[in-house]
Chains A and B, each alone.
Chain A
Amino acid sequence: MGDWIVIPIVLPAVMAALIVLAVRHDILLQRVFSITATVALVAVTLSLLIFANGNGPEMYALSDWPAPFGIVLVLDRLSAMMIFLTSLLGLGVVLFASSEWDQRGKHFHALFQFQLMGVNGAFLTGDLFNLFVFFEVLLIASYGLMLHGAGADRLKAGMQYVVVNLTGSALFLVGVGMIYSVTGTLNMADLAIQVANIAPGDAALLRAGALVLLLVFCVKAAMVPIHFWLPGTYANAPAPVAALFAIMTKVGAYSVLRVYSLAFGDTAGDMAWLAQPYILPAALITIAVGMIGVLAAKRLNNLIAFAVIGSMGTLLTAIGLFTPESISAGLYYLLHSTFSAAALFLIADLVVSRRGQFGDSLNTAPVFHQSGFLAVLFFIGAIGMAGMPPLSGFIGKLQILDASRDSDAMVWIWSVILVTSLMCIIGFGRAGSVLFWKSSSLDGEIVVEGAKWPVLPIISACGMLGGLVALTVFAGPISHYLNGTADQIFDTSQYIRAVLGDGALAQFGQ
């Protein structure tokens, strides 16, 4: 695919710069630029996905320096899928925001495009330090987006978000520094080779560095006990931004999967599957903490935020098993949880904007406009999030349960996932009942200003739910792709050959 591989990064970056440079005074032009660019991004990433489906991993050497000396991007089944997912989500978000949200502050579209650039970069890069750079890009952009529209709660939550994540960035450097000090490389493929051949005397530094780095990725993935930034951030972010954040936690999960299967997988000798014993128990606790939060929530946005934590726990459980089956199942769940979290945040915004002064508090309030229609959307979204049939959440959980059959922790995994599903059902049942049912027992109606049927936001929210439906209906072909992806992840020689050539594989002992 050649230069096309870098387009998902350059296109949004240039578009953001153009928006700042040329059309910052005109909201309509900003929307046109931003939406057009995102549609183009969907097209590009779709072609990359189709290419990755038919071909092995392909490397793109930036500045034309040979790996491992320069920076490389790698397009494989995993990264292609993630950037396609990002662009689909992005399209939904930009459509939603283009109704009204983007006017509540400045530079929404520029920051949004920069954010897409950061996320895509993180998914495509094959270089550990470059990953750090993109972590920074997406962190700062997301911070800017999170503060969009301002407000005291939002500023306060944003402070926590940025401080925790900057600390994470510092730790990222510590981790990478320690790894570099004994492997002398930043290229992920090269790292795999160096780790496989690590001198025993260097192993302690390598392991310590790798674990610190793991912790950083898990901060992004909102794993307990380093998930604290998430509830406040997601619950207080502007709705379209919260929806976009659905992909941010996935960046962390993706990084765990990428680095700890490629460099610390089967070939890593003593350090093989280094991450597993840490991830699995923490992931199960994460599910529990998330679902306890769902039961405890007094605000709708908090409810969804905690459900997101729970779903991250589920995803990390699947990844933490590190088997081809569990990875395939986990990736399916990843797609699902991205759409379901985004859908719920968008639907919640439609609800909140019609509840006037009652906002997102889970207290009884009079009936609001389109309560029936939104109840349907919320019901579908909640089914998705709770993992009830027939939507993809159910299939995803079923696959994860199925994949954990042979694990020693099988009883734990099954119990936690199933019991917490019930908690999620109860939590969402209570919330939906208060929001949509109990209101009819009160007199009166909440009247708020604004468009009765805002077209773009409704299209966007329905589109996210449509994603869940599509995942369900096409579960077969999608799982087929994901099985291929998991196999490719486990056959690390494909990745290494693509980046470093055949010669490198000899050192790899394969």
Chain B
Amino acid sequence: MSLTLIVLLPFIGAVLPAIMIRAGRNACATATGSITLLALILLMAKAPAVISGEVFQVSYSWLPELGLNVTFFLDGLGLLFATLILGIGLLIIIYARFYLSKDDPMGRFYAFLLLFQGAMVGIVLSDNILLLLVFWELTSLSSFLLIGYWKHLPEGRQGARMALAVTGAGGLAMIAGMLILGDIVGSYDLTVILQNADLIQASPMYVPALVLILLGCFTKSAQFPFHFWLPHAMAAPTPVSAYLHSATMVKAGIFLMARMWPVLSGTPEWFYIVATAGLVTMVLGAWIAIFKHDLKGLLAYSTVSHLGLITMLLGFGTPIAAVAGVFHIINHATFKAALFMTAGIIDHETGTRDIRRLGGLLNLMPIAGTIGIISAASMAGIIPLNGFLSKEMMLEEAWHTMWLDQGWVVPLLATVGAIFSVAYSFRFIFHVWMGKPRDENLPHHPHDPPFGMWGPPALLTVLVVLIGLFPAVIAGPLVAATSSAVIGGELPEYHLALWHGLTPALGMSVIAIVVGALLLMRHGALISATANLSRPDAKAMFDCAIAKLVALSRVISDNLHNGSLQRYLSVMIVASVAIGVSGFYAEPDHTAGTRELLDVSPAAAIGWVLLVVTSIAAVVMHHNRLLSLLLVGVIGLIVSLGFIYLSAPDLALTQISVEVVTVILMLLALNILPKETPKESLPGRKLRDGVVSIAAGLGIGGAIWAIMTRDLPNSISAYHLANSKIEGGGTNVVNVILVDFRGFDTFGEIIVLGIAALSIFALIETVTQGEAAKRLANWVVSNRRSADRHPMMMVVATRVMLPLSLMVGVYIFLRGHNEPGGGFIAGLVVSVALVMQYMASGFGWTQNRMKVNYHGMIGLGVIAAAITGASAWVAGLPFLTSGFVHVHLPIVGEFELASAMGFDLGVFLTVVGAVMLALAKLSQVERMAEHIDVNLDPMDHDPSVRIATPEKEA
């Protein structure tokens, strides 16, 4: 339990600083520190048992199906890292309290820091490797936030993004690696995985898994060639650099290599990848560090180099090298964190981190100077400090290592690395602290910082010395416990001591110190000698790569999504034709239909010819909007005739009334559109569109031919025909289908109609109050306008027709259940009758007499249909179940009353409401464009008033 709490505490505690900052900076720092201290105490309580070999475990199920569970375990390795994370974390929190300026949002800083801390502790305590992945990526994310903490600095933002991209990429590779690993072993639990070295190394998937996992480790731990992000992460505040980018996060990759060491190491692949990468990183990092003038830059590359050193040791694959690696992890964490904090102190006190401007600081700030010099000496590997011990062990192992059967490669390069390391460490000592001040005009006058800032590095420096002097006493048990956890077996024979006799390693050390010192003495010459060497600038390359990636993406995306509806539609149509045709021909056994073809009657032939001609005419003359609308109307009429010819009167009625209504509505819209559409398509485009549409036409035609020439199988229609009268109470099957068999479809469709009308209303209502209203107000009215907009003949005729049309509507509505008709058609017919009034007598006159709210009509229609449907619930039947009774009334006689009629009424109301609402709204646009008031008189010329001479229109 307390194990889980150690991980959870920083996460939960992350809220504290964010709110405690309101109580002041001290309260904020104290709260943060308490959280970490508490976690550290919990950890320390377990330390003795772990060092004596006990392993703590705890597990909760999270997603057992996947194998992702919340399981933690604490062994020596976990203990070492958790101690580093929490211990150094505590020091950093204290340090940061004094480091951050008043302008920096401290609550946010500590919150991010705790999030990071939790993620880091999570990594080192996870038993489940999928859980480990979760924490792994969380460290990338929290590090992103911390690097970008000073968001006004471009370096911070760019460094943050680069770190996220590189470590994020590694993390993604590692996801794949871990999944493969889990598959090989059959478990994602480390405790199980670590027992299965043979199984893993024998698997054909070993190499892919290894490479992918190492990608994760190398990116995180900044191993060559992924080392470039780390120096740029130094844009973060110094406490972050000290904590994340030297002591903890960058060691996560090292941790994982150590964790997986028992099962992944020992193979040639492991050796050549890991040891080589480590070796190269060590030498390269140290070399670059010599040339860095920025203190933090120097330390950053030094960190890269030391991480390489540890990686190389782990890569050797021998137990004793692993012990050396573990020991160096401890030593590096102590001296490097101290060095970073010292660099922060210098920056804070002098206002610069440029070594060329510094010098002689020891006299000005003796405490910080002492700390810095001792730590840097340890970094150089000077006896008797802890850095010397582990470097000695490293050189000893390098001495024994063959690389491609060559014994000299590793020792030589290791010595070279050590030389460089001495050189930059000495530079840190001599160019910063010794000598005379080089720049008298530093931004601040340097003096020692408050205790809060030098206390934490001082504590670490004490450790540096103590471990150096008494390695076996101070670090021995921890090294032993950790190493046995890394090795997963018996510990090799080793001694943590200052003096091992006159060994080759000692010789290499001496060479390193001497040559390194010489190198520094010639530093100026070295700088000028190498000044002209072209150095690959990783940041420029990375930025360039990202910029190219973005540019390429823009080319692809913008060209693909060019906003052309024609293109989108043609792609879609081509795709549908292709998929349909290829599907059709994928089945070899298609049998053609066997129905006999009807004879071509003259009527059908004429209709067909008309249809073809009007269609072609519509294509040819589509630039003229009015003409093409008329042609479409003609096509619609022929289709209606076709329905009649094929014995589908309901369809024909619907089609005709729909045609009438749509043509009228579209005519209204056409009035304010240009009369002609612009000619936009080039011949090539026309050809393409022609080919596409012919292909689509052939496809549809072919499908229809195939369908209509074959008999329907035993379809559901037969049941509808058989049950329409008996069960549905109507002889018009189409209507019974509409209101009963598939009444639910109709319920949906009337709603579609209602929505369409409401949308038209909403659109026009909004548009006519915005920009478009101004355009309409400035509309230039065409003067080719009829002088007699409301001809008397038409006014009179429509008035006579109105009651007749309404009667027809009622008739069609009532007979619908048994004969062609029904609510839908009746609604359209009535709408047409009303529309005619508007057209003939004008909007204002008609509106004054039609005081019906069409919104309400739509709503009422839907509700009527729904209530009819729901009334079946009263009888315990499902929604929309219909019932009918035969009623006998005097005079009228016997007739049938079906509940479906209520439903049909709903249909009727919705249709009328929808059509009329759309019309009303469209005509409003017209009125705005025409700049005319609504007419209250039915006719422009009142025939009862005699006019002497009709005025000619100007």
What residues on B are CB-neighbors of A399 within 8 Å? 66
Give the residues from 687 to 709 in chain B that come closer than 8 angstroms, CB to CB, to chain A: 700, 703, 706-707
Shortest distance in angstroms between A134's beta carbon and chain B's nearest beta carbon? 6
A69→B560 contact, CB < 8 A: no
User: Closest residue to A473 on the B side, CB-wise?
Assistant: B62
Shortest distance in angstroms between B559's beta carbon and chain A's nearest beta carbon? 10
A440→B152 contact, CB < 8 A: yes
Q: Determine the distance from Cα of A228 to Cα of B870 in the docked complex, in whole angstroms.
A: 41
What residues on A are CB-neighbors of B550 within 8 Å? 295-296, 430
User: Closest residue to B586 on the A side, CB-wise?
Assistant: A207
Set A61, A65, A441: member contacting B152, Cβ < 8 A: A441
A394→B137 contact, CB < 8 A: yes
Q: Determine the distance from Cα of A211 to Cα of B727 in the docked complex, in whole angstroms.
A: 36
Give the residues from 127 to 174 in chain B that come closer than 8 angstroms, CB to CB, to chain A: 130, 133-138, 141, 144-145, 148, 151-154, 156-157, 160-161, 164-165, 168-169, 172-173
Q: Determine the distance from Cα of A159 to Cα of B763 in the docked complex, in whole angstroms.
A: 12
What residues on B are CB-neighbors of A167 within 8 Å? 569, 572-573
Give the contact stretch, choosing among A93-101, A110-118, A444-452, A489-497. A110-118
Interface size on A, residues (CB 8 A): 138
What residues on B are CB-neighbors of A266 within 8 Å? none
What residues on A are CB-neighbors of B877 within 8 Å? 64
User: Closest residue to A428 on the B side, CB-wise?
Assistant: B164
What residues on B are CB-neighbors of A111 within 8 Å? 755, 758-759, 762
Q: B740 in the interface, Cβ–Cβ < 8 Å?
A: yes
Q: B587 in the interface, Cβ–Cβ < 8 Å?
A: yes
Q: B844 in the interface, Cβ–Cβ < 8 Å?
A: no
Set A117, A171, A394: member contacting B751, Cβ < 8 A: A117
Set A68, A297, A429: member contacting B144, Cβ < 8 A: A429
Q: B778 in the interface, Cβ–Cβ < 8 Å?
A: no
A144→B758 contact, CB < 8 A: yes
What residues on A are CB-neighbors of B168 within 8 Å? 388, 422, 425
Query: Which bucket holds chain B's interface residue count?
Result: 35 or more
B560→A289 contact, CB < 8 A: yes
Give the contact stretch, choosing among B238-246, B395-403, B575-583, B786-794. B575-583
Q: Determine the distance from Cα of A71 to Cα of B590 in the docked complex, in whole angstroms.
A: 31
Give the residues from 1 to 22 in chain A that come closer than 8 angstroms, CB to CB, to chain B: 3, 6, 10, 13-14, 16-22
Set B136, B715, B858: member contacting A185, Cβ < 8 A: B715
User: Closest residue to A224 on the B side, CB-wise?
Assistant: B560
Give the contact stretch, choosing among B317-325, B463-471, B766-774, B941-949. B766-774
Set B160, B554, B752, B861: member contacting A296, Cβ < 8 A: B554
Q: B546 in the interface, Cβ–Cβ < 8 Å?
A: yes
What residues on B are CB-neighbors of A258 within 8 Å? none
Set B157, B576, B712, B749: member contacting A184, Cβ < 8 A: B712
B589→A201 contact, CB < 8 A: yes
A171→B65 contact, CB < 8 A: no
A229→B134 contact, CB < 8 A: no
Set A19, A209, A441, A479: member contacting B66, Cβ < 8 A: A479
Proximity bits, A125-168, B CB within 8 Å = 1, else 0: 00001100110110011011001111110010001100110011
What residues on B are CB-neighbors of A423 within 8 Å? 549, 553
A398→B175 contact, CB < 8 A: yes
What residues on A are CB-neighbors of B872 within 8 Å? 64
Q: A62 in the interface, Cβ–Cβ < 8 Å?
A: yes
Shortest distance in angstroms between A338's beta carbon and chain B's nearest beta carbon? 19
Q: A356 in the interface, Cβ–Cβ < 8 Å?
A: no
Known: A3-B879, A62-B879, A130-B745. A20 touches B856 (CB 8 A): yes
Q: A92 in the interface, Cβ–Cβ < 8 Å?
A: no
B748→A133 contact, CB < 8 A: yes
Known: A14-B866, A117-B751. A63 touches B880 (CB 8 A): yes
Set B183, B571, B869: member contacting A228, Cβ < 8 A: B571
What residues on A are CB-neighbors of B779 within 8 Å? none
Q: Determine the distance from Cα of A98 to Cα of B189 in the docked complex, in whole angstroms.
A: 48
Set B173, B576, B700, B879: member contacting A215, Cβ < 8 A: B576
Q: B64 in the interface, Cβ–Cβ < 8 Å?
A: yes
Q: A292 in the interface, Cβ–Cβ < 8 Å?
A: yes
Q: A390 in the interface, Cβ–Cβ < 8 Å?
A: yes
Q: B316 in the interface, Cβ–Cβ < 8 Å?
A: no
Q: B884 in the interface, Cβ–Cβ < 8 Å?
A: no
Q: B898 in the interface, Cβ–Cβ < 8 Å?
A: no
User: Closest residue to A483 on the B side, CB-wise?
Assistant: B65
B759→A418 contact, CB < 8 A: no
Q: A177 in the interface, Cβ–Cβ < 8 Å?
A: yes
What residues on A are CB-neighbors of B572 within 8 Å? 164, 167-168, 219, 225-226, 228
A476→B64 contact, CB < 8 A: yes
A405→B138 contact, CB < 8 A: no
What residues on B are CB-neighbors of A107 within 8 Å? 758-759, 761-762
Shortest distance in angstroms between B88's beta carbon and chain A's nearest beta carbon? 24
B137→A388 contact, CB < 8 A: yes
Give the contact stretch, choosing among A49-57, A431-439, A498-506. A431-439
Q: A186 in the interface, Cβ–Cβ < 8 Å?
A: yes
Q: A181 in the interface, Cβ–Cβ < 8 Å?
A: yes
What residues on B are CB-neighbors of A70 within 8 Å? 741-742
User: Closest residue to A105 on the B side, CB-wise?
Assistant: B766
B561→A17 contact, CB < 8 A: no
Known: A137-B752, A144-B758, A433-B161. A13 touches B870 (CB 8 A): no
A204→B759 contact, CB < 8 A: no
Task: Output the residue of B137, B583, B752 with the most chain A CB within 10 A.
Answer: B583
A414→B176 contact, CB < 8 A: yes
Beyond the given pairs A114-B755, A168-B572, 20 more chain A to chain B contacts, judged by CB atoms under 8 angstroms and listed by A's residue number, are A10-B870, A20-B855, A63-B740, A65-B727, A107-B759, A110-B758, A111-B758, A111-B759, A117-B751, A140-B752, A293-B553, A296-B550, A389-B133, A389-B134, A389-B135, A398-B66, A430-B161, A433-B148, A440-B151, A475-B68
The 3 closest A-B pairs by CB, nearest first: A184-B715, A21-B859, A201-B591
- Pick 13 A–B contacts, CB within 8 A, sort by A: A133-B745, A164-B572, A200-B591, A201-B589, A202-B713, A204-B589, A215-B575, A390-B138, A394-B134, A395-B66, A398-B179, A422-B165, A426-B546
